[in-house]
Amino acid sequence: MRTLVPVLVAFAAAALAWQGCGGSSGRSTQAGGATPAPVPVAPAVSARDFLTDATYRHLLVEIDHVQGHAPSPTALQVLRARLEERCHKPDGVTILVDDAIPPGSGVYSVAENRALEAQHRDHHASGTTAVLYLLYLDGRSDQDAGGARVLGWAHGPSSVGIFRESIVASSNLVASPAEVETAVLVHEAGHILGLVNNGTPMVAPHEDAARPGHDVDEACIMHWRIETSEIRTLITNLGAVPTQFDARCIDDLRASGGR
């Protein structure tokens, strides 16, 4: 357990890196400036853009994957269902399973994830379409420590990385790889929608003080364990894999213009 702390604190910092820079075109600037960390988001999007139809009536989910690590169709179905349930998108939610890309380094930092995204992402918000981009990576996160693995991260306002090999390694007799993948996808989508207190304000306090951006309730999909190999502990405790936002998360989404 102790070894998890630096991993998740570091992860939380990565996950929250874009918070508080709303609307600024310079938000992807990294310390140093000489090292490019491109997050080609144009125009800037916010959680509210995903939740409401004020600017974008349609949501496109573009998914690229490293060869051999394609997404599970059932996980994508649930992701789409959750987005449809929570976002006002009268023109619908479209899932686009796009490019298979060559294997990379096998160990990815957030910067490396962003660089690959810059290379392969085809769609950005435009017209009435908002875009969520998912990249399924091979190998693992550089924030893994000891036996603790990161299963996914939201590293920008419309950008998610998924570590499918770590997801498979974190499945067990109770939860199949596809079920763990489903939970991770919905969790990362929750971060894009501003949960918890990560761009979408809380109606009632329920953020885990020790794990910023996460729900204190173990039964909520936004619990921190969902995106780590600790998901096994959670599944054992609950006897099932959560796939849904709890009432307090839904209250937050609705108060910020979602459904």
Binding site for Zn ion (CB under 5 A): 215, 220, 222, 227, 246, 249
User: Which residue number, 171 or 197, has a Cβ lying nearer to Zn ion?
Assistant: 197
User: Which residue number, 115 or 220, has a Cβ lying nearer to Zn ion?
Assistant: 220
User: Which residue number, 56 or 144, has a Cβ lying nearer to Zn ion?
Assistant: 144
DSSP per-residue codes, 99-146: EEE----SEE-HHHHHHHHHHH-----BTTEEEEEEEEESSEETT-BT
**Alpha-helical runs (H) found in 110-246:** 110-120, 164-169, 177-192, 231-238
- How far apart are CB 239 and Zn ion at their closest, in Å? 19
CA dihedral angle for residue 44, residue 45, residue 46, residue 52, rounded to 10 degrees: 140
Q: Count of H helices and E strands in the chain?
A: 8, 7
- How far apart are CB 196 and Zn ion at their closest, in Å? 6
**Alpha-carbon Rg of the chain, whole angstroms?**
17
- How far apart are CB 170 and Zn ion at their closest, in Å? 14
- How far apart are CB 159 and Zn ion at their closest, in Å? 14
User: Which residue number, 101 or 160, has a Cβ lying nearer to Zn ion?
Assistant: 160
User: Which residue number, 10 or 96, has a Cβ lying nearer to Zn ion?
Assistant: 10
Q: What's the Cα-to-Cα distance from 27 to each of 118, 182, 193, rounded to whole Å?
A: 15, 30, 18
- How far apart are CB 35 and Zn ion at their closest, in Å? 25
Chain centroid to CA 20: how far?
A: 18
Q: Give the Cα separation of 108 and 138 in Å (integer).
A: 9
- Tracing tokens 């899932």 back to the chain, one arrives at 95
User: Which residue number, 101 or 181, has a Cβ lying nearer to Zn ion?
Assistant: 181
Q: 86 by DSSP, 3-state: which?
A: helix
User: Which residue number, 84 or 251, has a Cβ lying nearer to Zn ion?
Assistant: 251
- How far apart are CB 224 and Zn ion at their closest, in Å? 6
User: Residue 203: what are its φ and ψ, rounded to 5°?
Assistant: -75, -45
Q: Give the Cα separation of 111 and 175 in Å (integer).
A: 31
- How far apart are CB 257 and Zn ion at their closest, in Å? 18
